[in-house]
Amino acid sequence: MAPRLSVVRRDPRAGGRGAAGRDAGSGSTAGSLRRPRRRGRTGERAIGVALFLCAAVSVLTTVGIVVVLAGEAASFFREVSPIVFFTGTEWTPLFVPKRFGVLPLLAGSVLVAAGAALVALPVGLASAIYLSEYAPGRVRSVVKPALEVLAGIPTVVYGYFALTFVTPVLRMVWPQTNIFNAASASLVVGVMIIPLVSSLSEDALSAVPRTLREGAYALGATKFEVATRTVVPAALSGVLASFILAISRAIGETMIVAIAAGATPNLTLNPLESVQTMTAYIAQISMGEAPHGSIEYETIFAVGLTLFALTLLMNVLSNAVMRRYREVYE
């Protein structure tokens, strides 16, 4: 479809909005351009402001999140010292005695995300390499959308798939696996984020100019060598950025872990045990019996703030990585 160059085709004599179409008569347009431009400028300015306001929405969103989380978390931290919170190894705010060490929840989130990364990063990158370097067009047009469907499946459905399909399989292989376990959730979260890695990496790989590949071929490299030693390193910034985005998504996942990983905060490295992640904890308490305004309820905001800070950190890391490794081609 050829781009529409409507500015060229439009008859300057025909009525129309904007400076170019204003002239009614043929011949010189110099005189008539002056008047419309003033009106046009105000209109332009108004549009610019409107668009800026749209952009402001996103800034306000962040401000909103920080205000809500920090405000309530502040009253939590007045009662529980931040040092105890960040270094304590027991999380029992609803038990007696109450302990407010967030490390078990943090460990749960990290354990699940690490397992998911172990699944998704190699599989996603290999899929991206396959789709961008090897796959014939028809295979690509089927497989790429299929992988994208994985990203669209509701997390509730994934959660129950983890609980009713993956966990029994794990229990057959390792009978000591708990009915809730981090491994099942990790595997399914991993499957869910494969498309993130594969789509973004594939975009990065495709953006590597053909000249680079052809140069490598000219020097006698095989397809495998071109892919692994030329293309992937050239696209490294995009690939690493996709990794970090996928890991953030894994950390932020709520429903799958709430359903399959359990509700027992547990500081452990064993994926066959039940753990609770930060996100699952927030979901549990918000729907539960804790009286609003109590310290148990305020833990939601403290944990939420920790979660937000963690994803912010990962994002800053991602930006730093991209800037460090970005290759400019033209």
Nearest-approach distance from CB 201 to other proteins, in angstroms: 12
Nearest-approach distance from CB 224 to other proteins, in angstroms: 4
DSSP 51-88: HHHHHHHHHHHHHHHHHHHHHHHHHHHHHS-HHHHHH-
Nearest-approach distance from CB 40 to other proteins, in angstroms: 6
Q: What's at 270, amino acid-wise?
A: N
237 vs 284, which CB is nearer to other proteins? 284
Q: Give me 272's structure tokens.
A: 């066959």
In whole angstroms, give the CA distance from residue 253 to residue 242: 16
25 vs 58, which CB is nearer to other proteins? 58
- Using only C-alpha atoms, what is the Rg of the chain? 27
What spatial distance separates the first Cα and last Cα of the chain, rounded to whole Å?
A: 27
Q: DSSP code of 134?
A: I
How many Cβ atoms sit within 10 Å of the Cβ of residue 314?
A: 18
37 vs 78, which CB is nearer to other proteins? 37
87 vs 141, which CB is nearer to other proteins? 141
Nearest-approach distance from CB 81 to other proteins, in angstroms: 21
6 vs 75, which CB is nearer to other proteins? 6
Q: Angle, nearest 10°, between helix axes 278-286 and 103-129?
A: 120
Nearest-approach distance from CB 268 to other proteins, in angstroms: 11
DSSP 245-286: HHHHHHHH--HHHHHHT-S-----S-TTS----HHHHHHHHH
Nearest-approach distance from CB 79 to other proteins, in angstroms: 15
